[in-house]
Amino acid sequence: MSTINLPLNLTVRVHPVVLFQIVDAYERRNADLVRVIGTLLGSVDKGVVEVTNCFRLPHKEHSDQVEAELSYASDLYELNQRVIASENIVGWWATGQEVTNHSSVIHDYYARECPNPVHLTLDTSLTGARMGIKAYVCVSLGVPGGKSGCMFTPINVEVTSYEPEIVGLQLCMKTIGLQSNPNRPRTVSPMLDLAQVTDASDKLLALLTDVLAYVEDVLNEKQQPENTVGRALLDLIHSVPNMTGDQFAQMFNSNVKDLLMVVTLSQLIKTQLQLNEKLTSLTSFLN
């Protein structure tokens, strides 16, 4: 048996916006659709497939064939290229927790659109109370001069985030438990800048407390030391700038003043815009 093109060392990194788009497409599907499929957009670099965007591909699955609106997918991809030219087709996604009989047919289409496309599945049925994510590549199998086939082989998949996405995820996490606790507000709003600084400082203080407790337990021989943790702590200490307490306080106060200046200017601009809107409405009413 011979194997052809084995990209099994790939790692797929999926951004949260992709997962939200897949769930949204699943929630908006027609009632007769069992699953939803679509195109993955992103980039490939040094064995890492980073998925930053996606869109749905309208389709229908029958027992013996698959119908898909390929012209719609082509037009949507061209429009996306005009906005973000760096996002290319890297594979396709489907809702569900398993590869189906029609997956190989759909994969053949994407194999013509990009080399070594990846297949991402998202379990929107929440099997085991978790939204499982899996990634596959299609490995060609066969013997010389005989029939050939393909096999979907799992590869590593991770969820990664940009810093702005992390802020959005933290805000979404505040909505967890709304159904179980009706007294909680139904909506949440972003915190003010100073409130975010305070919240981040409290979390940092809690983490430092845990680190100090671990170090004291190791020194008192209450816990076995771990080399990986020790190296991480050493790198952390080396990354901290060498400055006195007064220098740190001066730097922090300077940054806080800059933040307050930005907040003041933004509020002033907002007030001017509201005043201009009022004056415009009054002028229109008088005329």
Task: Write out pLDDT tens, residues 78-136.
Answer: 999 999 999 999 999 999 888 888 898 899 999 999 988 999 999 988 877 788 899 99
Q: Are residues 105 and 216 in the same domain?
A: no
pLDDT at position 254, please? 85
Q: Is residue 183 part of a domain?
A: no
- Distance separating alpha carbons of residues 169 and 172, to the nearest angstrom: 5
Which amino acid, residue 225?
Answer: P
pLDDT at 5: 47
Instruction: State whether residue 202 is helix, strand or coil.
Output: helix
What tokens does 73 get? 């997918």
CATH at 142: 3.40.140.10
Q: What is the pLDDT of residue 61?
A: 86
Q: Are residue 23 and residue 48 in the same domain, yes or no?
A: yes
Collect all residues with Cβ–Cβ distance below 8 Å to 87 and sequence separation of at least 6: 41, 42, 43, 52, 53, 80, 81
Note whether 143 and 212 are same-domain residues: no
Query: Quick check: helix, strand or coil at residue 94?
Result: strand
Same domain, 28 and 155: yes
Confidence check: pLDDT of 280 > 90: no
Considering the domain architecture, whether residues 155 and 55 belong to the same structural domain is answered as yes
Largest CA distance in the chain: 86
Residue 189 pLDDT exceeds 80: no
**Are 227 and 252 in the same domain?**
no
In the predicted structure, residue 178 carries a pLDDT above the cut 70:
no
Chain mean position to CA 68: 27
Q: Are residues 95 and 46 in the same domain?
A: yes
Confidence (pTM): 0.68
Decide: helix, strand or coil at residue 38.
strand
- Mark whether 234 and 260 lie in a shared domain: no
């099997």: which residue's tokens? 127
Domain count, the chain: 3
Q: What is the pLDDT of residue 1?
A: 36
Segment 126-133 long-range contacts (CB within 8 Å, at least 24 positions apart) = 127/97, 131/19, 131/23, 132/97, 133/14, 133/19, 133/157, 133/159
Domain that holds residue 259: 247-280
For residues 234 and 253, membership in a common domain is answered with no
- Give a yes or no: residue 6 inside a domain: no
Residues 155 and 15 in one domain: yes
pLDDT of residue 7 exceeding 70:
no
The residues, any chain, with a CB within 8 Å of residue 217's CB and separated by 6 or more, are 223
Answer with the residue of higher pLDDT: 56 or 246: 56
CA distance 35 to 61: 9
Q: Is the pLDDT of residue 2 over 70?
A: no
b (16+ CB within 10 A) / e for 220-253: eeeeeeeeeeeeeeeeeeeeeeeeeeeeeeeeee
Q: What is the pLDDT of residues 14-26, one digit of tens each?
A: 999 999 999 999 9
- Res. 260 pLDDT band, cuts 50 70 90: confident
Residue 200 belongs to a domain: yes
Q: Are strands 133-142 and 2-4 parallel, antiparallel or unpaired?
A: antiparallel
pLDDT at 3: 41
Percent of the chain with pLDDT over 90: 37
* pLDDT surpassing 50 at residue 4: no
Co-location of 139 and 30 in the same domain: yes
Q: How confident is the model at residue 237 (pLDDT cuts 50, 70, 90)?
A: confident
CA dist 128 and 148 (Å) reads 36
Shared-domain flag, residues 275 and 235: no
